[in-house]
């Protein structure tokens, strides 16, 4: 999809790779915590429900009755494959780096199945009803990955002992998603202008308001924008914030000031950095002008404007921007 031509507008719709990732910290609660503590110690535990079923992996509440469960029972390390799916090209983060099967495995003594990997030589070696047995990881930490995988057959391999430790209470849960973000043709056109040092707004044919950056349609009238309008790179600070607190993903040196800047000729302010002035002298009504990166360094992003700096003009009267905060 990258670099896709937008024939309708004759201009290129910009795309960008985008990675969204984070490592969540889960509190496990008493039931899943005990299950993972068991895995660390080389033991698989399930829970027995009021109706006598043994759930492995355990759930905190009985899916049949909603009652809390608490009767823990150990089950076997071998069991029967209920069904399976072959993975011919394993992906990063999966249990094995060679082709393997995902399988639902009902362990001996359990009434429900556990999802895990079976290390089989090929898909031909897999079938529903086959018996498989746990292969433990040597270094176990209290995670489902303490089970390295299952292997065909009944040959039990003892888990190597691990040093005693506190019961497992939490786990890390990393997520990672790869996206390709499209800017869309309206924003792409605006960003092309930014590379050329121009701010291109668009005017609503109904209410005549000028939006910069433009949107596809007017948010109040619901009609597509019409004329393109060149908006000044000089404007008025309508309000601002001085940031003194760091946050994840933040790249600016603290403290920094950003403000709503109502560009001359626009009807909606943009947010940008305010610089070239001590933070405690930034004020509402301050007149500022864009400080552009040199032409060769500009990218299709508003970061091509380094910041807005004071023009030295007299402050704009409050009435001129009161409606644009």
Binding site residues, Zn ion, CB under 5 A: 204, 206-207, 218, 221
Are 26 and 32 a contacting pair, CB within 8 Å?
no
**Residue 239 is a binding residue for another protein (CB under 8 A):** yes
Q: Which of residues 278-297 bind another protein (CB under 8 A)?
A: 279, 284
CB of 2 to another protein, least distance (A): 12
Nearer residue to another protein within complex by CB, 135 or 170: 170
Nearer residue to Zn ion within complex by CB, 150 or 211: 211
Among 301, 313, 317, 320, binds another protein (CB under 8 A): 301
Rounding to the nearest 10 degrees, give the CA dihedral for residues 156, 159, 160, 165.
-170
Nearer residue to another protein within complex by CB, 79 or 300: 300
Which does residue 206 bind out of Zn ion, another protein, none, counting CB within 5 to 8 angstroms by kind? Zn ion
**Residue 251 is a binding residue for another protein (CB under 8 A):** yes
Euclidean distance between the first and the last CA atom of the chain, given in angstroms as a whole number: 38
Locate all alpha helices (DSSP H) within the chain, ordered by sequence: 29-40, 184-195
Among 152, 85, 104, smallest CA distance to 125 is for 152
Q: Quick check: helix, strand or coil at residue 297? A: helix
Residue with tokens 């433009």: 214
Nearer residue to another protein within complex by CB, 100 or 240: 240
Nearer residue to Zn ion within complex by CB, 191 or 204: 204
C-alpha 214/C-alpha 186 separation (Å) is 7
Q: Which of residues 198-227 bind another protein (CB under 8 A)?
A: 207, 209-211, 218-220
**Residue 232 is a binding residue for another protein (CB under 8 A):** no
CB of 234 to Zn ion, least distance (A): 24
C-alpha 324/C-alpha 260 separation (Å) is 9
Among 31, 33, 84, smallest CA distance to 59 is for 31
Residue with tokens 């990997």: 117
Among 183, 79, 207, 84, smallest CA distance to 133 is for 79
Nearer residue to another protein within complex by CB, 125 or 241: 241
Residue with tokens 């990732």: 21
CB of 207 to Zn ion, least distance (A): 3
Binding footprint of another protein, residue count (CB under 8 A)? 72
CB of 225 to Zn ion, least distance (A): 8
C-alpha 253/C-alpha 126 separation (Å) is 57
Backbone angles phi, psi at 18, to 5 degrees: -145, 125
**Residue 9 is a binding residue for another protein (CB under 8 A):** no
**Residue 319 is a binding residue for another protein (CB under 8 A):** no
Nearer residue to another protein within complex by CB, 78 or 238: 238
Q: Which of residues 26-85 bind another protein (CB under 8 A)?
A: 26-32, 59-66, 68
Q: Which of residues 102-161 bind another protein (CB under 8 A)?
A: none
């Amino acid at each position: 999809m990258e670099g896709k031509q937008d024939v309708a507008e004759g201009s290129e719709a910009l795309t960008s790779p985008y990675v969204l990732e984070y490592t969540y910290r889960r509190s496990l609660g008493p039931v899943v915590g005990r299950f993972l503590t068991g895995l660390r110690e080389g033991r698989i535990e399930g829970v027995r429900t009021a109706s006598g079923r043994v759930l492995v992996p355990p759930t905190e509440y009985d899916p049949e009755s909603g009652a809390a469960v608490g009767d823990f029972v150990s089950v076997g390390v071998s069991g029967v494959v209920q069904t399976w799916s072959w993975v011919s090209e394993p992906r990063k983060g999966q249990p094995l780096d060679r082709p393997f099967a995902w399988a639902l495995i009902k362990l001996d003594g359990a009434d429900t199945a556990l999802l895990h990997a079976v290390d089989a030589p090929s898909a031909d070696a897999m079938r529903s009803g086959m018996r498989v047995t746990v292969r433990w990881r040597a270094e176990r930490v209290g995670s489902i990955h303490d089970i390295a995988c299952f292997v065909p057959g009944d040959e039990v391999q003892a888990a190597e002992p691990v040093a005693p430790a506190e019961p497992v209470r939490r786990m890390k849960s990393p997520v990672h998603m790869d996206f390709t973000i499209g800017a869309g043709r309206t924003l792409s056109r605006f960003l092309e202008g930014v590379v050329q040092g121009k701010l291109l707004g668009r005017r609503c044919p109904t209410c005549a308001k000028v939006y910069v950056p433009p949107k596809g349609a007017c948010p109040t009238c619901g009609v597509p924008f019409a004329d393109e309008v060149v908006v000044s790179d000089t404007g008025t600070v309508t309000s601002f914030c001085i940031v003194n607190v760091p946050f994840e993903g933040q790249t600016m040196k603290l403290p920094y000031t950003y403000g709503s800047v109502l560009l001359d000729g626009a009807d909606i302010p943009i947010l940008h950095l305010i610089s070239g002035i001590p933070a405690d002298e930034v004020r509402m009504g301050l007149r500022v002008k864009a400080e552009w990166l040199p032409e060769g360094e500009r990218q299709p992003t508003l970061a091509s404007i380094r910041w807005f700096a004071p023009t030295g003009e007299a402050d704009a009267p409050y009435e001129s921007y009161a409606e644009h905060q």
